[in-house]
Amino acid sequence: MAASLEDILQSHRTGRFVVMGILNVTPDSFSDGGKFFSAADAIAHAEAMAAQGADVIDVGAESTRPGSTAVSPSEQIARLRQIIPPVARLGPAVSIDTTSSQVAAYALDAGSAIINDISAGRDDPQMLPLAARRGCPIVLMHMLGRPGTMQDRPRYKDVVGEVCEFLLRRMEAAEAAGVARERIIVDPGIGFGKTLEHNLALLAGVARLTSLDRPVLLGVSRKRFIAKLTGVEDPAGRLAGTIAACLAGAGGGATIFRVHDVSAVRDALSVASAIRNAKNSANSGS
C-alpha cells in the first residue's frame, strides 16, 4: 500500500523508505525525454509505476537537466492538463515538479498533493505562500545557479556544510511565509550545480543533512555522476549505480528516493530495510 502523506512526512522518524517515481511530461529530459510526452503514454507509465509500488508519482512538465531552457507556466499547464487528474486517481500521492506557483496551484487543484520545487521557493515569491495556504508538503532543494548554467565550474569550500546551511535558511523562509516545519522535505540537489566529488561528498554526508530533522529526499536516478564512475553512457543502463547510490543514502538516513526504475529500487530498499530491522532486533535483544 502506498505511503500516506503523514507516512512520508514522518519517514525520517519511522525509517520507512518512500519511492517517488519520475514522470517527465517533456520532450527533452536527460533520460526519458519524449518517451511519455503524450497523455496516453504518460498515464500508462504512471499506472505501471503505481503497480510496481510507487508511493509518490512526481510529475514534471519542464526539463531541468543541465543546459535546459525554461518552459512557460502556460505551456507546463497545457502539458499537464490531461495527465494529473487521472494520475491522481491511481492511489500514490502526486507531486508537482515545478518552480512556478501558477503551475503548482493548477496541479494542486487538479489532484496533486505535494510541491517539489528545485528552487526552494526562490524563483517565484508566491510559491511559499501558496504552500502555506494549501497546507501541502513542499520539497525544498539546493541548487547552485540555474539549470542552464549550474554545471559551469561549481565551487564550494564545504559542500555538505553549505548545502545544510542553505536548506536551513530556506526552511526558515518557508516558515516565515507560514509553512509548517512538519510539512517540509529537504533535498540536497544531487547533480544540480555539483561536480562528481561534490555529489559523492553529499551522499557520504547524508547523516549531516538529517540534523535538520526533516525527511531527506535523494534524486540520484541515472544521473551523470554515475556514468563518470561506471563508464555507462546510456542513462537507462545506470540502474546498478542508481541502486548503489540509493542504498548509500539510505544508510545515512535518507528516506525518500526519486527514481525512474521503481520496481528495482523498491526491491533493493525492501531488502535493506529487512536487514536493518534484523540488526536492530538483534541489538535490542543483546
Residues carrying an active site annotation: 223, 258
DSSP assignment letter at 149: T
Where does 49-167 show beta strands of DSSP type E? 56-60, 93-97, 114-117, 138-141
Rounded Cα distance, 42 and 61, in Å: 11
- Quote the distance between the C-alpha of residue 201 and its chain's center: 18
β-bridge partners, 60: 24, 97
How is the beta sheet containing 217-218 ordered, strand by strand?
A: 184-187, 138-141, 114-117, 93-97, 56-60, 18-24, 256-259, 217-218
In this structure, are residues 139 and 117 in contact, taking their beta carbons and an 8 Å threshold?
A: yes
**CA angle 210–213–218, rounded 5-degree value:** 45
| DSSP E strand boundaries for the chain | 18-24, 56-60, 93-97, 114-117, 138-141, 184-187, 217-218, 256-259
Spell out the residues 6+ positions from residue 153 whose beta carbon is closer than 8 angstroms to its own: none
CA distance 153 to 59: 29
C-alpha cell at 117: 520545487
Neighbours of 274 (CB within 10 A): 10
